[in-house]
């Protein structure tokens, strides 16, 4: 029998490793930026072309490499940061596994120029498909310049799975921001297709946060700083008014490494309890400094998920630190016992209850006597003249003109569902109880309105361009660089669903018109919320950009829980719901109403 097990050739092994480490241009950006930080650079420049598909170049002024090191850096598992097994448990650098450059060289064309301060000339290396094409001496600046060209040129199938340029650019911006946020003492710049996107001067953490997240955060941040023997935490949290409806500006760093942790996110959210709406998320940039031996950062190829030796201690500490910061800066909610001045101007207070008015009231209502005569507060008349009708009358059809009313009622979803115009009740300003002959329906007002708006927007936008309402005074919308890139990508689809938005340069846009449904004067907030919702739309569901925008807009424009509705508004809402093609579920798949039939209610009470 012949032997069938054999070692994989290096080029294939490198491509397999690249599949884990380099998933898209942003993955290479992260690895190259981290290498530049480890090299001790004080200035790091990132240049991308065609969303990183054609070029990703990182230039730093770090310590550079010798000729031998420059060549060795592209070997698998080659690293200067791990000498023995103990080093794995005391990692203080960003990159350490020695797979990044080897993986990049396996799926791209790489050019490297590097020079150490003590050398007069540097080294130039050109690698393609893991093979060194050229190596020679060259004149270059101190530090390293590495260019990754034509990503996945030798793996066309992988290249086909890359997203649009705008989507890939957003991923690159995310990785750039995470590294730049972690090292405010380093100068960073980002140039995309010849245009400068970021120019971040070295400074304090607060300055870096404002540079990245916008000037609006300058006066809306509270500093966090707590030190213990076990761990330290510092950073900034946004005041409650900066909370967003989706997970937006939330950054956790452990030993200056960005991490994703739903567990720690929950710790911060609970610290903000009763200060922000339940469906909102606070903004924060928090750094945890802990002994490297207490964590394991090598549990995921991207190193964005780590394990703590004792998660509960970290959770409690983060929660306490955030609560302490909020209390220390008097952000915690307080009760205001002062009387609102507007109340003093109400008619009921400013105008006296004259004898003439008293006679009018007493003549027209027995209730006044009931509550003013001595020892009569408990007494309510039981005769037919009392203004308080029996509660059952709310659920009974009026005998007068019953046939006429029945003719006016609409068949909404089934033959047994004939709503009576007067029989709508609002529960907790969230649910609508709609009674009918054989029971009642409990309708969730927000989810029902989302379904109505979704079908309206969908039918309109997929057939023709939605109408635009021109704004009398065009509003200017300033976005972060990442959001501006997303907005540029969405302009055509936004214009199709009724917006008229024009770029104004420097991450600024002018809102010339909005869909007719959007409240005038609220254009900026509506767009900001729409962008925020779109960013965090479930990536598991493959919808077109336009479909995502329609779903986001229907969710945004729907009436909310807690909103009081009149009888007419409730009737219109329920009627329009049951005229929808799919009235029973919202666009997100949640039920819009629950049916309570008489026989079901009887069974609940054992009848």
Measured distance CA(190)–CA(600) in Å, rounded:
64
Rounded to an integer, the average pLDDT of 265-293 is 87
Residues 6+ apart with CB under 8 A from 438: 416, 597, 598
Q: At what angle do helices 311-328 and 262-271 cross, to 10 degrees?
A: 30
Look at the domain 409-607 and name its fold: Ribosomal Protein S8; Chain: A, domain 1 (3.30.1370)
Measured distance CA(573)–CA(443) in Å, rounded:
10
Residues 6+ apart with CB under 8 A from 496: 461, 465, 466, 546
pTM of the entire predicted model: 0.69
Please list the residue range(s) of the chain that carry CATH number 3.30.230.10.
205-328
Q: What is the pLDDT of residues 491-502, one digit of tens each?
A: 888 888 888 899
pLDDT at 165 over 50: yes
CB atoms within 10 A of CB 135: 15
Please list the residue range(s) of the chain that carry CATH number 3.30.565.10.
10-200
pLDDT over 90, % of the chain: 28
Q: What are phi and psi of 306, to 5 degrees?
A: -130, 165
Rounded to an integer, the average pLDDT of 331-337 is 48
Rounded to an integer, the average pLDDT of 204-232 is 88
Domain 10-200: top CATH class: alpha beta
Confidence at residue 47, expressed as pLDDT on a 0 to 100 scale: 96
Measured distance CA(422)–CA(567) in Å, rounded:
7
Nearest alpha carbon to residue 70 among 182, 146, 165: 146
Which range scores top for mean pLDDT: 13-17, 122-126, 386-390? 122-126
Measured distance CA(300)–CA(292) in Å, rounded:
16
Average pLDDT, the chain: 80
The band of 338, judged by pLDDT with boundaries at 50, 70 and 90, is: very low
Confidence at residue 497, expressed as pLDDT on a 0 to 100 scale: 83
Confidence at residue 530, expressed as pLDDT on a 0 to 100 scale: 84
The band of 299, judged by pLDDT with boundaries at 50, 70 and 90, is: low
Q: What is the pLDDT of residues 104-123, one digit of tens each?
A: 888 899 999 999 999 999 99
Measured distance CA(344)–CA(352) in Å, rounded:
13
Confidence at residue 405, expressed as pLDDT on a 0 to 100 scale: 46
Rounded to an integer, the average pLDDT of 27-35 is 91
The band of 336, judged by pLDDT with boundaries at 50, 70 and 90, is: very low
Confidence at residue 139, expressed as pLDDT on a 0 to 100 scale: 92
| Position with higher pLDDT, 395 vs 532 | 532
Confidence at residue 403, expressed as pLDDT on a 0 to 100 scale: 43
Are 523 and 471 in contact, with CB atoms under 8 Å apart? yes
Confidence at residue 130, expressed as pLDDT on a 0 to 100 scale: 83
pLDDT at 414 over 50: no
Rounded to an integer, the average pLDDT of 132-155 is 92
For the purposes of burial, counting CB atoms within 10 Å of the CB of 131, is it exposed (0-12), middle (13-18) or buried (19 or more)? Answer: exposed
CB atoms within 10 A of CB 381: 13
SS (H, E, C) 152-213: CCCCHHHHHCCCCHHHHHHHHHHHHHHHHHHCCCCEEEEEECCEEEEEECCCCHHHHHHHHH
Q: How far does the chain reach from its first CA to its final CA, in angstroms? A: 78
Domain 205-328: top CATH class: alpha beta
| Position with higher pLDDT, 332 vs 232 | 232
Sign of the torsion formed by the C-alpha atoms of 132, 116, 48 and 13: positive
Are 574 and 418 in contact, with CB atoms under 8 Å apart? no
pLDDT at 400 over 90: no
Q: At what angle do helices 25-38 and 165-182 cross, to 10 degrees?
A: 20
Measured distance CA(189)–CA(177) in Å, rounded:
10
The band of 421, judged by pLDDT with boundaries at 50, 70 and 90, is: very low
Please list the residue range(s) of the chain that carry CATH number 3.30.1370.100.
409-607
CB atoms within 10 A of CB 227: 11
Rounded to an integer, the average pLDDT of 506-521 is 80
pLDDT at 93 over 90: no
> What three-state secondary structure class fits 425?
strand
Which helix (DSSP H) or strand (DSSP E) does residue 122 occupy?
Answer: strand 122-128
Measured distance CA(415)–CA(323) in Å, rounded:
56
Measured distance CA(293)–CA(90) in Å, rounded:
5
Q: At what angle do helices 10-21 and 100-107 cross, to 10 degrees?
A: 110
DSSP for 208-228 reads HHHHHH-GGGTTSEEEEEEE-
Confidence at residue 459, expressed as pLDDT on a 0 to 100 scale: 82
Measured distance CA(462)–CA(371) in Å, rounded:
61
For the purposes of burial, counting CB atoms within 10 Å of the CB of 52, is it exposed (0-12), middle (13-18) or buried (19 or more)? Answer: buried
User: In this predicted structure, which of 58-67, 141-150, 359-368, 569-578 has the lowest mean pLDDT?
Assistant: 359-368
The band of 588, judged by pLDDT with boundaries at 50, 70 and 90, is: confident
The torsion region of residue 252 among left (phi > 0), alpha (psi -120 to 50) and beta comes to beta
Confidence at residue 310, expressed as pLDDT on a 0 to 100 scale: 80
Measured distance CA(323)–CA(193) in Å, rounded:
44
The band of 379, judged by pLDDT with boundaries at 50, 70 and 90, is: low
Q: Decide the pairing of beta strands 284-290 and 257-259.
A: unpaired
């Amino acid at each position: 029998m012949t032997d069938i097990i054999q070692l994989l050739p290096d080029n294939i092994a490198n491509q397999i490793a690249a599949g884990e480490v380099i998933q898209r241009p942003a993955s290479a950006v992260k690895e190259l930026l981290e290498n530049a930080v480890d090299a001790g650079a004080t200035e790091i420049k990132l240049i991308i072309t065609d969303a990183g598909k054609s070029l990703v170049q990182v230039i730093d002024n770090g310590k550079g490499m010798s000729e031998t090191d420059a060549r060795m850096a592209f070997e698998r598992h080659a690293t200067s940061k791990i000498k023995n097994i103990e080093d794995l448990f005391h990692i203080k650098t960003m990159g350490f596994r020695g797979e990044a450059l080897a993986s990049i060289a396996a799926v791209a064309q790489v050019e490297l120029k590097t020079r150490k301060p003590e050398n007069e000339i540097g080294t130039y290396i050109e690698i393609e498909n893991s093979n060194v094409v050229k190596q020679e001496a060259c004149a270059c600046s101190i530090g390293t310049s590495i260019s990754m060209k034509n990503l996945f040129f030798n793996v066309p199938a992988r290249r086909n799975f890359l997203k649009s340029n705008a989507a890939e650019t957003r991923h690159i911006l995310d990785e750039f921001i995470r590294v730049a946020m972690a090292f405010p003492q380093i100068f960073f710049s980002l140039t995309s297709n010849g245009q400068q996107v970021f120019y971040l001067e070295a400074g304090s953490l607060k300055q870096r946060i404002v540079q990245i997240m916008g000037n609006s955060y300058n006066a809306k941040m509270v500093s966090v700083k707590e030190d213990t023997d076990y761990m330290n935490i510092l950073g900034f949290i946004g005041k409650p008014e900066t909370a967003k409806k989706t997970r937006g500006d939330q950054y956790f760093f452990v030993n200056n490494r960005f991490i994703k942790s739903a567990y720690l996110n929950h710790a911060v959210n609970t610290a903000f309890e009763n200060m922000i709406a339940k469906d909102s998320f606070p903004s924060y940039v928090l750094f945890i400094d802990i002994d490297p031996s207490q964590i394991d950062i090598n549990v995921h190829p991207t190193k964005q998920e780590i394990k703590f030796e004792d998660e509960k201690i970290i959770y409690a500490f983060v929660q306490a630190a955030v609560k302490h910061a909020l209390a220390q800066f008097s952000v915690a909610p307080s009760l205001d016992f002062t009387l609102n001045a507007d109340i003093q101007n109400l008619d009921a207070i400013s105008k006296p209850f004259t004898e003439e008015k008293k006679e009018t009231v007493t003549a027209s209502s027995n209730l006044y006597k009931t509550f003013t005569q001595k020892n009569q507060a408990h007494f309510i008349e039981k005769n037919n003249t009392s203004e308080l009708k029996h509660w059952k009358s709310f659920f009974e059809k009026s005998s007068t003109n019953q046939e006429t009313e029945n003719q006016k009622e609409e068949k909404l979803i089934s033959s047994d569902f004939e709503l009576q115009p007067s029989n709508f009740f609002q529960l907790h300003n969230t649910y609508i109880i709609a009674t009918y002959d054989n029971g009642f329906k409990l309708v969730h007002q927000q989810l029902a309105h989302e379904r109505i708006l979704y079908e309206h927007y969908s039918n309109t936008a997929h057939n023709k361009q939605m109408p635009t309402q021109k704004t009398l005074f065009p509003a200017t919308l300033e976005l972060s660089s990442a959001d501006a890139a997303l907005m540029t990508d969405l302009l055509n689809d936004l214009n199709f669903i009724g917006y008229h938005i024009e770029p104004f340069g420097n991450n600024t846009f002018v809102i010339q018109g909005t869909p007719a449904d959007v409240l005038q004067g609220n254009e900026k907030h509506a767009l900001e919320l729409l962008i925020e919702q779109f960013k965090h739309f479930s990536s598991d569901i493959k919808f077109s950009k336009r479909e995502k925008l329609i779903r986001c807009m229907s969710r945004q424009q729907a009436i909310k829980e807690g909103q009081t509705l009149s009888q007419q508004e409730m009737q219109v809402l329920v009627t329009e719901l049951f005229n929808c093609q799919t009235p029973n579920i919202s666009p997100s798949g949640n039920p819009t109403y629950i049916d309570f039939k008489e026989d079901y209610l009887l069974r609940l009470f054992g009848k």
